[in-house]
Amino acid sequence: MKAVDKFIQRILGISKPWFIEKTEDKLDSKEIHIYLNYKPKSKFKCISCGKRCTTFDSSWRIWRDLDIHTYKTYIHARIPRIKCCNKTTIIPPWARENSHFTQLMEDNILKIAKMTTITKESEYIKEHDTRLWRVIIYYVDKARNNADFSNITKIGMDETSKRGHRYITNFINLDTRKVIYCTEGKDHTTVDRFIEDFKAHGGIPEDVTDTTCDMSKAFKKGIKENFPNAIITIDKFHVIQLINDAIDDVRKIEVIDNPLLKKLNIYG
C-alpha cells in the first residue's frame, strides 16, 4: 500500500476488513475518489443479532466525504450482504444507513447550518439543498425524540412571519433560551398543539409558573386554558414598540406647529 493511501486510510478511520483499493484524482473537476474494498472470505457482523457471517453478494455505493483541501472527496465502497437472521446489507462504520454522506461530512453540514442559511451552505459546499435538509431533519427529529421537557417551568412564545402573512409561532425554554417547538399560525390553537408535544416529552403543564408573550388575546387564551398556574408577562420589546409608535404618532401631529420635531430621532 502506498504511503498516501495509508495516510488517507488512517484519517478516514478505515479498519479491517476494509482497505483502500485505489484512489483517483480528477483534477479537471477538482475531485478525489477513494475506492474501498474488503478481502475475500471476510466476515461481517449481523446488524440484528451480532453474529459474524460471510458474504454472499455485494454492491457498490458512494458517499460524499469532507473535502481534501479544495477538492470534493468521494468514498466508493463495495458493500456486502450476508445471510443470517435475514438477508442483511451491512451498514459501513463511516456512514449511517441510507445517507449520501459520511458521518464526518454530516457533522460538518450540521455545524455550518448553525451559522448560515441552507441556501448559502448549499452554494458553499456545492450540494443540493434537498440533501442538506434531509440530514438536518434527520438529526433534529432524532434530538427531539430524545428531548425531556419534565423540568421546564418557564416558557416564552412569539410569532414571526416572512413574505406576507405566513406566520409561525416559536416556543422557547426561557431558562436555556432554546427553541423547543415551532408550529404554523399565531392563534390560540398554536398553544394547543404545543401542549400536546410538551406533554409527549414529559412536560407537566401544572408545573409551568411563568410565560411570556406579546399582547395577543389568542396567546393569552391559550395560556389560560393550558397552563393554569402560569403568570403571564408581556414581552418588553412589544411594550417598547407600542410606546415608540405612540410617541411617533404624537410627533407627527405636533410637527405641524413645531418643525424642530420633523427630524427628531425618537429611538435614541
User: Where exactly are the structural domains of the chain?
Assistant: 1-94, 96-146, 154-234, 237-268
Length of the chain measured in residues = 268
Would you tell me the crossing angle of helices 118-125 and 129-145 to the nearest 10 degrees? 120
pLDDT value, residue 262: 66
- CA angle (23 as vertex; 29, 67 as ends), nearest 5: 55
d(CA 66, CA 127): 12
Report how far residue 193's alpha carbon sits from residue 182's, in angstroms, rounded to the nearest whole number. 10
C-beta separation of 208 from 228 below 8 A: no
User: How many CA atoms does the CB half-sphere of 146 hold within 13 Å?
Assistant: 5
Integer angstrom CA distances of residue 233 from 108, 162, 167, 246: 39, 26, 22, 21
At residue 86's C-alpha, the angle toward residues 81 and 92, to 5°, is 35
Nearest to 77 by CA among 8, 7, 21: 21
Cell matching residue 251: 410627533
Measure the CA–CA gap between 268 and 263, rounded to whole angstroms.
Answer: 12
According to CATH, the superfamily of the domain at 154-234 is Ribonuclease H-like superfamily/Ribonuclease H (3.30.420.10)
The whole-model pTM stands at 0.74
| CA atoms lying within 13 Å on the CB side of residue 185 | 12
Burial of 38 (0-12, 13-18, 19+ CB in 10 A): buried
Task: Locate all alpha helices (DSSP H) within 13-63, ordered by sequence.
Answer: none
Distance between CA atoms of 186 and 64, rounded to whole angstroms?
Answer: 40
**DSSP state, 91?**
P
Residue 47: its H or E element: none
The one-digit pLDDT tens for each residue of the chain (268 residues) are: 566 677 777 777 788 888 888 888 887 888 999 999 998 888 888 877 878 888 888 899 999 999 988 899 999 999 998 888 766 788 888 899 889 999 999 999 999 999 999 999 999 999 999 999 999 999 999 999 999 999 999 999 988 887 777 889 999 999 999 999 999 988 888 999 999 999 999 999 999 999 998 888 888 888 999 999 999 998 777 677 777 778 777 777 777 777 766 666 655 5
Q: Are 182 and 194 a contacting pair, CB within 8 Å?
A: no
